[in-house]
Structure 1
Amino acid sequence: MAHFVVVGAGQAGASLVAKLRSEGFDGEITLIGAEPVPPYQRPPLSKAYLLGEMEESRLYLRPANWYEDNRVALRTGTRVTGIDRAARTLELEAGETLGYDALALTTGAHPRTLPASIGGALDGVYCMRDLADADTMAPEFAEGARLLVIGGGYIGLEAAAVAAKKGLSVTLVEMAPRILQRVAAEATSDFFRALHRDHGVDIREGVGLDHLTGTERVTGAVLTDGASVEVDFVIVGVGIAPAGILAESAGLAMDNGIATDAHGRTSDPHIWAAGDCASFPYKGHRIRLESVGNAIDMAETVAQNMMGGKVDYEAKPWFWSDQYDCKLQIGGLNMGYDAVHTRRGEGAGVSHWYYLGDQLLAVDAMNDPRSYMIGKRLIEMGKSPAPEVITDPDTNMKALLKG
């Protein structure tokens, strides 16, 4: 009986094993995770969970008994230290060896941290990536506490929003000229800058961290413009990197993560990869997507191909972020855009539409779910209405899907 092993018990790993069973795979399945808990949702960690609005049990992707009922051997708190590709075995931290017929790596990503030389090892300096991170920093969120957020991407902005809602004094620094510069147009940056400042967040752009101060615990920060900030704790949100050490040490091809083909297969025919750790072909490029949607969709495609399918992974990128009472929804990828057009939605809703020439690439929708849904559908269908049609408030947006 074939034995499929999945290393990485996050969204991708959980989706992959579920798809294997739903597609009729009847062999053995082992799902291995380094954390001591079952697979869970990560997005609420920096939002509802940190706010105290969601209990830990509600984070879990499936009830604990699902794994036993579906004959999935879930091994939590277990680290894989090596892959012997020739023998098709895994080396586990405790010295155990585990064989496989096919292996899937869904190891995710890890947060980039601050160097110890500038204070990154001080107590009170946190990253937000997993449940343990959220639990460890939760007591810091006391009303009146002074928080410094380093990084103006979505993770940093979401953490700042939670802190501001809890009554903390929040300073956010972004070394780029504007927040969200790597991922969004200037208009979207302007929207979220205004939103955070309306909630009392001190946003400083074009300013980085020089070093943190304190003996054992952080007490302050010196910024690159010479300013000093007194702080009670720090959250570092400067991006994530694919968790590819296991794959790289096994000699698999790497390219911005674990390189896979269109089927999710790595350079080893018996090893697959999916989720944040994996890069794949996309419209003539090689990309890696950090999103729940990609983790689910790519993992399910890989599951089918592990069973002998020949299904190309066709990514349909979508993302979201919750900050205060604003829901940002993003459809498509804005790579290479040369123009952005704004449409006013219902109420305070607004959307920004990214074009390359006359091709629609992506849409950012703030409290405008209709524009998001229609924009995402248009992109997936390969339709590109003229910008003046999109921005015309009298346009029947739904009709564009039929045109």
Structure 2
Amino acid sequence: MGHVIVVGAGQAGSSCVAKLRNGGFDGDVTLIGAEPVPPYQRPPLSKAYLMGDMSLERLFLRPEAFYADNGIALRMQSEVESLDTATRTLSVSGETLSYDELVLTTGSTPNRLPDAIGGNLEGVFVVRDLADVDAMAPRFTKGAKVLIVGGGYIGLEAASVAAKLGLEVVLVEMADRILQRVAAPETSDFFRGLHRGHGVDIREGVGLDRLTGTGAVTGARLTDGTEIAADFVIVGVGIRPGTALAEAAGIDVENGIKVDAQGRTSAPHVWAAGDCTSFPYRGGRIRLESVPNAIDQAEVVAQNIMGAGKDYVAKPWFWSDQYDVKLQIAGLNTGYDRVVTRRVDADSVGFWYYRGDELVAVDAMNDPRGYMVGKRLIEGGKSPDPAVIADPATDLKALLKG
């Protein structure tokens, strides 16, 4: 059945090769990764792993032996230098490999601070891979001063770990509020209060002018003129899709590697899945940065390589763990014009997003039932009356029966 090569040994890549084998593909399968370890979970890196609550082996998506046992050639610490779609070949660490079908699961890359403002100083970190977290972990000592640049989920998760370990934490967000790009003011307010309650100094509406220090970072000057001391800095200012290999090969890119509903790129016999892709969704195109999307889309691509002819229908959901709060998000809140609050108890609340009369998303804090029901309602195209949602006496599960 030929040779399938998957480039990118993250969640999507691992899911794709596993699905190929589980689906009965009996050709050659090769998974190529840049890191020296087998595919692993990324979300726990900034939480349980950084806290020391999860070992390296527990991070692995599958035991290393899984790949050999299933006839998957796992090439770790390998660099893909170029792709030639005409000859169906890859240059990998100086060697030429031929493929019959190629899957790009090249993920995403964190944005870094410019060198001109101190981004290249020692002690400045991003949170993306194992090496990043291993490098910063020794600095998480009680009383150390950490500056976190960016008030998105990555920054807030890092702040929660640092605060729990007794560090002095300052978080700066240049937008008017934390989570402004991804959540309603109500969710921002909830997490602002949570973090301040744990001693995090959150400063909104102020940016970073530059980091200070000679060789190593020692502090920062903010755009309001404030100067703060810092033993190290964590940068969480978004990510960009890993499109370099595809672009160099002439494959169409549009906010990610552009794929059709079945995961095909503009080049014959080349597919893509995960964070690196943009795909059709409800009349437009989106790119999702989430583990569920990486798994589901990669599995659909694997099935389509085997001839399934199946469209990928995204069911967006996300999560974040901060302190003792589990945030679960269902749907996409794009274009919302109303937020309905459903208070469960003192520690649990949900924010339900409506666009007109349509329920489009739910942010559920320590409210797994609200999340589960909201997700199923959104997937089923059902939109309960907002007044019904706001009423704490409403039996949410009963709404699924209508």
TM over 0.5: same fold? yes
User: What one-letter code is carried by the residue in structure 1 that aligns with 2:52?
Assistant: G
State the identity as a percent: 69
Instruction: Tell me the equivalent position of 1:71.
Output: 71
Instruction: Tell me the equivalent position of 2:106.
Output: 107
User: What one-letter code is carried by the residue in structure 1 that aligns with 2:47?
Assistant: K
User: What one-letter code is carried by the residue in structure 1 that aligns with 2:8?
Assistant: G
Instruction: Tell me the equivalent position of 1:129.
Output: 128
Taking the TM superposition and a 5 Å limit, the aligned residue runs for 1:164-203 are: 164-203=163-202
Deviations for 1:57-99, whole angstroms, at most 9, x for unmatched residues? 0000001110011000000000101101111000113x10000
Q: Could you tell me how far apart the structure 2 residues matched to 1:350 and 1:393 are? A: 10
How many equivalent pairs are there?
402
Instruction: Tell me the equivalent position of 1:374.
Output: 373
Q: Could you tell me how far apart the structure 2 residues matched to 1:288 and 1:163 are? A: 30
Residue 351 of structure 1: SS of its match in structure 2?
Answer: strand
Deviations for 1:171-212, whole angstroms, at most 9, x for unmatched residues? 000000000000000000000000000000000000000000
Instruction: Tell me the equivalent position of 1:39.
Output: 39
Q: Is the 8 A contact 1:122 1:216 kept in 2?
A: yes
Deviations for 1:232-262, whole angstroms, at most 9, x for unmatched residues? 0000000000010000000000000100000
Instruction: Tell me the equivalent position of 1:307.
Output: 306
Instruction: Tell me the equivalent position of 2:87.
Output: 87
Q: Could you tell me how far apart the structure 2 residues matched to 1:33 and 1:393 are? A: 49
Matched, 1:393 2:397: no
Residue 252 of structure 1: SS of its match in structure 2?
Answer: coil
Q: Could you tell me how far apart the structure 2 residues matched to 1:314 and 1:385 are? A: 23
Q: Could you tell me how far apart the structure 2 residues matched to 1:393 and 1:37 are? A: 48
User: What one-letter code is carried by the residue in structure 1 that aligns with 2:65?
Assistant: N
User: What one-letter code is carried by the residue in structure 2 that aligns with 1:185?
Assistant: A
Q: Could you tell me how far apart the structure 1 residues matched to 2:396 and 2:287 are? A: 31
Instruction: Tell me the equivalent position of 2:12.
Output: 12
Unaligned runs of 5+ in 1: none
Q: Is the 8 A contact 2:146 2:169 kept in 1?
A: yes
Q: Is the 8 A contact 2:85 2:268 kept in 1?
A: no
Q: Could you tell me how far apart the structure 2 residues matched to 1:388 and 1:233 are? A: 47
Deviations for 1:325-364, whole angstroms, at most 9, x for unmatched residues? 0000000000110100000114521000000000000000
Instruction: Tell me the equivalent position of 1:348.
Output: 347
Instruction: Tell me the equivalent position of 1:3.
Output: 3
Q: What TM-score comes out, normalization by structure 1 length?
A: 0.99
Instruction: Tell me the equivalent position of 2:361.
Output: 362
Q: Could you tell me how far apart the structure 2 residues matched to 1:384 and 1:24 are? A: 40
Q: Tell me the CA shift for residue 158 of structure 1.
A: 0.2
User: What one-letter code is carried by the residue in structure 2 that aligns with 1:232?
Assistant: D
Instruction: Tell me the equivalent position of 1:51.
Output: 51
Q: Could you tell me how far apart the structure 2 residues matched to 1:60 and 1:101 are? A: 28
Instruction: Tell me the equivalent position of 1:289.
Output: 288
Residue 304 of structure 1: SS of its match in structure 2?
Answer: helix
Residue 50 of structure 2: SS of its match in structure 1?
Answer: coil
Residue 45 of structure 2: SS of its match in structure 1?
Answer: helix
User: What one-letter code is carried by the residue in structure 2 that aligns with 1:143?
Assistant: K
Instruction: Tell me the equivalent position of 2:320.
Output: 321
Q: Tell me the CA shift for residue 113 of structure 1.
A: 0.2
Residue 51 of structure 2: SS of its match in structure 1?
Answer: coil
Residue 300 of structure 1: SS of its match in structure 2?
Answer: helix
Q: Tell me the CA shift for residue 269 of structure 1.
A: 2.2
Q: Is the 8 A contact 1:247 1:258 kept in 2?
A: yes
Instruction: Tell me the equivalent position of 1:205.
Output: 204
- Over the aligned positions, Cα root-mean-square deviation in angstroms equals 0.6
Deviations for 1:144-191, whole angstroms, at most 9, x for unmatched residues? 000000000000000000000000000000000000000000000000
Q: Could you tell me how far apart the structure 1 residues matched to 2:262 and 2:337 are? A: 31
Deviations for 1:296-331, whole angstroms, at most 9, x for unmatched residues? 000000101111121110000000000000000000
Q: Could you tell me how far apart the structure 2 residues matched to 1:61 and 1:261 are? A: 27
Matched, 1:22 2:22: yes
User: What one-letter code is carried by the residue in structure 2 that aligns with 1:59?
Assistant: L
Residue 345 of structure 1: SS of its match in structure 2?
Answer: strand
Q: Could you tell me how far apart the structure 2 residues matched to 1:124 and 1:394 are? A: 51
Residue 263 of structure 2: SS of its match in structure 1?
Answer: coil
User: What one-letter code is carried by the residue in structure 1 that aligns with 2:31?
Assistant: L
Q: Is the 8 A contact 1:145 1:169 kept in 2?
A: yes
Q: What TM-score comes out, normalization by structure 2 length?
A: 0.99
Residue 49 of structure 2: SS of its match in structure 1?
Answer: coil
Q: Could you tell me how far apart the structure 2 residues matched to 1:234 and 1:178 are? A: 20
Q: Is the 8 A contact 1:151 1:172 kept in 2?
A: yes
Q: Is the 8 A contact 1:346 1:368 kept in 2?
A: no
Runs of 4+ in 1 over 2 A off after TM superposition: none
